[in-house]
Amino acid sequence: MKKYNVGVVGIGVVGTEMVRLLLRRNFPIKSLKILAKHQRIETIDGQDYPVEVTTGASFEGMDFAFFAGTEGDKGASKEFGMAAAMGGCTVIDNGDDYRMESWVPLVIPEINPGVIGQYPGLIANPNCSTIIALMALAPLYSKNKIRRIIASTYQAVSGTGAKAVSELAQQTKSWSRTEEVSSSVYPHQILFNVIPAVGSFVDHNGESTEEIKMRREIHKILGDYSIRISNTCVRVPVLNAHSISLNVEFENPIFPQEARKILHGAPGVRVVDDVMADQYPMPINASGIEDVLVGRIRKDQSVENGLALWCSGDNIWKGAALNAIQIAEYLIKRR
């Protein structure tokens, strides 16, 4: 099998998992280069990796570059990604710098790999919540057109990065010691709380940037801008794996047993739906697995042709690092 020169740009939470998953999935690596803002040594699972400072010359001879979009590296793909792609490297960007550009494919390999052109240069990874929601929605949409989606997300702190994970852990320790609980990553204490604000508020329309991203990306990936979408994105005191409540109105009647059958056959989806046995998707079970868990599938009593469902998925794996690697694997297989 042909092997490839691979680069990972950014070695925060997502970049670290990219390295782990590249090895776990036996990606055909000829050489692996880790790039970031500062030179250092990073230890991942007992193995030391040299980290080089990112420059334009870093991508010479590189076949695949995964931009992790973490560690404050938003904009790294703007600075280096386009030049790398023009130099012959396939750039897969986990950040949001290019997602909504009409000429950039926004890809979930199980759903829309066909949008990747014959000679890919730069490919965008969707937002984590978009990926997890669409893994449940797209197989149903392919059988029955969707008219409306109401989504409420329950997003883990790992989506904000390593500092947020540490903050939740520290707040837990402080509370258990009856010490003052302080916050710096979030504007409010996250322990024993939920914060209905993921991203930022750019104007006075009341939507957060995360909510805007999710709506726009679902439209682009499904190629259907007629779907009415309302979402509320919420940060919850969970370490890892996002969960999403979905209320969906379809064009034609659909029954829960039909939806379960469709989802059972969908790649990357695992149906966990036996409420009488207390079996349903939970972030504690979705963390560290590659599939998105889908359950609580039932009739939405508030609308004709409606379904309600619940899904959980690892936001760092399928919501970010894994999806990017699967894009590269698809390209290798296609070649």
pLDDT in tens, the chain (335 residues): 899 999 999 999 999 999 999 999 999 999 999 999 999 999 999 999 999 999 999 999 999 999 997 543 467 899 999 999 999 999 999 999 999 999 999 999 999 999 998 778 999 999 999 999 999 999 999 999 999 999 999 999 999 999 999 999 999 999 999 999 999 999 999 999 999 999 999 877 899 999 999 999 999 999 999 999 999 999 999 999 999 999 999 999 999 999 999 999 999 999 999 999 999 999 999 999 999 999 999 999 999 999 999 999 999 999 999 999 999 999 999 98
Q: What is the pLDDT of residue 60?
A: 97
The number of folded domains in the chain is: 2
Q: Are residues 245 and 141 both part of a single domain?
A: yes
Alpha-helix residue ranges (DSSP H) falling in 53-202: 76, 82-86, 128-141, 162-176
Which of 251, 332, 311, 334 shows the shortest CA–CA distance to 63? 332
Is 204 a catalytic site residue? no
Pair 285, 136 in one domain: yes
Q: Phi-psi category of 279—alpha, beta or left, where left has phi over 0 and alpha has psi -120 to 50?
A: beta
Amino acid code (one letter) for 242: H
Give the range of the structural domain holding residue 76, as residue numbers without chain letter: 4-125+320-334
**Residues 309 and 330 both lie in one domain:** no
Q: Are 165 and 53 contained in the same domain?
A: no
Residue of 89, 128, 233, 311 with catalytic role: 128
Active-site residue, from 89, 233, 242, 311: 242
Same structural domain, 150 and 262: yes
- Do 90 and 189 belong together in one domain? no
pLDDT in tens, 35-52: 999 999 999 999 999 999
- CATH number where 246 lies: 3.30.360.10
- What pLDDT score was predicted for residue 72? 39
pLDDT score at 191: 98
- Let me know whether 120 and 203 are in one domain: no
CATH of the domain at 89: 3.40.50.720
- Is 128 marked active-site? yes
H or E stretch covering 258: helix 256-264
Three-state SS for 86? helix
pLDDT recorded at residue 70: 53
Distance from C-alpha of 81 to C-alpha of 93, rounded to nearest angstrom: 8
Whether residues 107 and 135 share a domain: the answer is no
pLDDT number for residue 28: 98
Residue 317 tokens read as: 């794996």
pTM above 0.85, yes or no: yes
Asked if 240 and 194 sit in the same domain, the reply is yes
- Decide: helix, strand or coil at residue 228: strand
| Predicted local confidence at residue 74, as pLDDT | 61
